[in-house]
Chain A
């Protein structure tokens, strides 16, 4: 199991490095159009071939990673920054605040993620920030709920009562006792969510509601090349494979982290049986 953990971490590190330095590794300018070289099969000059406008596919994949994964990470970070405080307040304050916040959460949870994201990004119009906003709207709820449940669990324990009797104020209680308990589960949920968010970003871009051409982004590359798939199937295989591999590695890592932090699931972890996400 130790070996497997390092596999996930190692692969993630390699992928992250490739994505981070992708634009500098890219052999050519991803946006240079050369119609004389359109739809070329993979060759020594263009390792992954060229697209319908003669752009180098390898360079577009390498630069596009920053867009796809970057947007996903930023959107997820925003969701955590919104969801965690709301969950902390709801759980810690309790009473009417909790009731009102949880009804708000219920209303958001009443709709499937994809549908909300599609409606919001569609109505706001395609684009970088609108896409992030749509994902924020969809994702903060999960973190608020998770944090609230952790806080409620901890609140009932005796040590918090002792802390209160010893004169710890709300700020100290939150900072010293509650937030440390929240970090592990939030991290575990976040690693499991990254893959889902990447899939969401790519799907929205594929439908045409996310990142717009000519920016290289894996989902919108699939959208752009759609008409040429029958002639040049590598145009379809390569960007999809990139999405699949990154999400796969993230899920691998996420499963390990959940085993580590999800104390409720120790039973399953002990048997050495790997989990599906």
Chain B
């Protein structure tokens, strides 16, 4: 019952947030200087007259007052119509759904790699806290947080593609996702390694662990059943929150490795002033992040039932 109320409240907050997100994506384009009509005509590289630009502006409804534009935008949005791309003339929704799989694939493999890195470094450095492996992991974290992702990508391409000819530099075929995911994972993993390590150490100090140990339960069972589950909560929350930086970082990585994802699409759209694509991109990213945060909240409550119990107590 409590959970149901919480979910309702969360959804109503979400609708408000989604409306604000739609407003932001509308506003960004309204405030931006430059002219879609002009850049549309410029694509043909033929000299254009002011009359032509004016006619096109009229046709695109760009001379209408802002509120009319907003109502039209919202009306189309409710019909799930995001408009058409100026670059290709195809619907924005089609362009985005064409590009999202590559981004999801990249984000997914990077996330997987991040989890592996966090698991290995976090558990080893908590097991041997203060030892050389702990120091190594600390150094790795500091380096990973300081290295520019695009530079790391370039170095990896130089080493593995240009010099060793092991992996492709561009595209997704033949293990082409390995290098991009690696450079993204190295950038994202450091804070989680630290959090996971500290939370493992914290958890192992708790009384219930000592109690379990005094009852003669094996270290392996203690670790798997008690320490690990207790330490996962902070990691899961922040892993979800980091999905945003994963998407943001993937923009840069997609450009370097020439992956046909939304990041690359967005950069092209931004430089060529394809406003419909930019709006659709901002909107879909906002919605995506909202959904992920919701999922994280749900899993958080699953991992730690005390949260919903506390809320029940308060009411």
Contacts and interface: CB of A to CB of B under 8 A. Distances in A.
Contact of B282 (A111, A113, A237, A275): A111
Contacts of B162: 229-230
A191 interface: no
Contacts of B282: 111, 115, 119
Interface of B: 16-17, 20-21, 23-24, 28-29, 32-34, 129-130, 134-135, 138, 141-151, 154-155, 158, 162, 190-191, 193-194, 198, 244-245, 247-249, 251-252, 255, 266-267, 270-271, 273, 278, 281-282, 285-286, 289-290
Interface in A106-126: 106-107, 110-115, 118-120, 122-125
A202 B158 CA distance: 19
A119 B134 CA distance: 39
B138 A243 contact: no
A276 interface: yes
A113 B20 CA distance: 17
Contacts of A195: 145-146
Nearest to B33: A124
Nearest to B140: A276
Contact of A124 (B32, B141, B252): B32
Interface in A56-110: 103, 106-107, 110
A219 to B, nearest CB: 8
A275 B255 CA distance: 31
A19 interface: no
Interface centre among A115, A199, A233 (most CB of B within 10 A): A115
Contact of A207 (B134, B249, B252): B252
Given A120-B28, A251-B146, A106 B20 contact: yes
A230 B191 CA distance: 33
A222 interface: yes
Contact of B278 (A123, A206, A236, A271): A123
Contacts of B248: 112-115
Given A207-B252, A240-B151, A119 B270 contact: yes
A222 B154 contact: yes
Contact of B289 (A111, A123, A230): A111
> Interface on chain B toward A: helix, strand, loop, or mixed SS?
helix
Interface string A231-271: 00100110010011001101110010000000000001001
Can you list the 9 inter-chain pairs with the closest CB atoms, starting with the nearest?
A: A276-B141, A114-B248, A122-B270, A112-B248, A240-B151, A123-B32, A112-B244, A276-B194, A248-B146
Given A229-B154, A274-B138, A203 B148 contact: yes
A208 interface: yes
B255 A244 contact: no
B255 A276 contact: no
B271 A273 contact: no
Contacts of B251: 114-115, 118
18 contacts: A103-B20, A110-B290, A122-B271, A125-B34, A195-B146, A207-B252, A207-B267, A233-B158, A236-B151, A236-B155, A240-B148, A240-B154, A240-B155, A243-B151, A244-B146, A273-B134, A273-B138, A276-B142
A119 B266 contact: yes
Interface string A194-219: 01000100110011110000000001
Contacts of A243: 148, 151
B150 A206 contact: yes
A244 B142 CA distance: 11
B158 A107 contact: no
B21 to A, nearest CB: 6
Nearest to B32: A123
Nearest to B293: A110
Contact of B145 (A106, A203, A277): A277
